Every structure is written in structure tokens, then in C-alpha cells.
Amino acid sequence: KQEVTQIPAALSVPEGENLVLNCSFTDSAIYNLQWFRQDPGKGLTSLLLIQSSQREQTSGRLNASLDKSSGRSTLYIAASQPGDSATYLCAVRPPNTGFQKLVFGTGTRLLVSP
């Protein structure tokens, strides 16, 4: 059974810092990995999706890397801003359960202080 773990569970940083969020998964045979942002009382917003054949994806100040063989992904946020405060979730699509099911980690709660 695929399990996804995110470390740290919570992170508090001052504005302007660069930071890294970690995601690990137990079964390296995945179709893709996706990073989401969740704001309180709101749904999930997709940030980056990395196909299994890719090593990284970038969008603005965000960069996500994927190392399938070691079962790890990182989300790098450059020059953090208070507006980045949210919960960040990673999710994988494992092949043995079909194309459709996402398996999520428990998330990292990020607080960026002005």
C-alpha cells in the first residue's frame, strides 16, 4: 500500500527566506506527483505536477523536484512571502490502483511572518 509522508508537519519562517518542503512515498512506481496548496476553508489548488519521466517542474518562485528511485520529492519556495502561508500537500498517483486515485500526504503547514 502506497504511503506518503511529509516533513516537517509545520514550519514557521520570516518573510524573504527560501525554504524546502519534503515529501516521501513508499512505492517508487508512480505515474506522477502533484503539489497542492490548501487555504483554510478552501479547496486544493494545484501548484505543480511532475510526470514520472520528469525530474523537476518550475512555476514562478516554486520549484518541485522528483527522485522516483528514492521515493522523494521536494518543493522549493524562493523568497517566501506572507501570502505563501497555507498548508502544502503532495499527492502521488500509484499505478497499482489505476489511473484515477490520488494518495495524499498529511501536509506541511507553512506560516510566513512579515
Binding residues for other proteins (CB under 8 A): 4, 31-32, 34, 36, 41-46, 49, 51-52, 89, 91, 93, 97-107
Amino acid identity at 13: V
Closest separation in Å from C-beta 14 to other proteins: 25
Strand partners, 73: 23, 66
Question: Could you give phi then psi for residue 33, rounded to 5 degrees?
Answer: -135, 140
Contacts of 5 (CB under 8 A, 6+ apart): 23, 24, 25, 105, 106
Contact 67, 34 (CB under 8 A): no
Closest separation in Å from C-beta 62 to other proteins: 16
Residue among 37 and 65 whose Cβ is closer to other proteins: 37
Residue among 3 and 17 whose Cβ is closer to other proteins: 3
Closest separation in Å from C-beta 113 to other proteins: 22
